[in-house]
Amino acid sequence: DSGVTQTPKHLITATGQRVTLRCSPRSGDLSVYWYQQSLDQGLQFLIQYYNGEERAKGNILERFSAQQFPDLHSELNLSSLELGDSALYFCASSRSGANVLTFGAGSRLTVL
Amino acid sequence: GIQVEQSPPDLILQEGANSTLRCNFSDSVNNLQWFHQNPWGQLINLFYIPSGTKQNGRLSATTVATERYSLLYISSSQTTDSGVYFCALNTGFQKLVFGTGTRLLVSP
């Protein structure tokens, strides 16, 4: 157990729907990162939050949004889902000033 | 953008064999991490190694930042070493750029 908790582990939904993925970082970690792993794009950085504020943005679609709450957990919202959004979504966390990211087990999203 | 290339893309070993995985990158490195993605999908940190050499049990890694490559050595491989190995570069704010991975299968 890495200490980073992601729910749900698996999710199957239909095109056009909206889902929310949740992440609880390791105790004491202020930064949360979201990554997407798909067959065609590999592992890609989506977005980073630090202590509730957006810090960096990567290849995140406009249909996707995220936020980090005061208790430091984070949610990734995916809307108007398309078949191509099927992927493994990872959350990672790190301590302030740390150089190492610790990843959760991932949420596997299947869009039918 | 930064390019991260890994070789070989696939590797099949007999249990007990040694292997070397390579990661080439196109830009100077703030830091570099090696990960193992096990067959269940979990990404596990192996090394944080912006330069120099580190060892952890049967695994070791070397990064030569001036020549823009890193190597991961696996000795006396075991079936539990199977999975995909990724190197990833930190491009700032811990934004990692991942390589395409090396898929390793260790057979008994």
Write out pLDDT tens, residues B46-81: 999 989 999 999 999 999 999 999 999 999 999 999
CB contact under 8 A, A90 and B95: no
pLDDT in tens, A79-111: 999 999 999 999 999 987 677 889 999 999 999
**pLDDT tens track for B21-34:** 999 998 877 789 99
The two three-digit tokens of residue A79, written as one number:
């809307």
Residues of chain B neighbouring A48 (CB-CB closer than 8 A): 93-95
DSSP conformational letter for A84: G
Alpha-carbon distance values, B32 to A43, A44, A98, B4, B60 (Å):
15, 16, 13, 11, 14
For A9, the closest chain B residue by CA position comes to: B41
B59 touches chain A (CB under 8 A): no
Query: Across-strand partners of A74?
Result: A23, A68
Run of H or E including A95: none
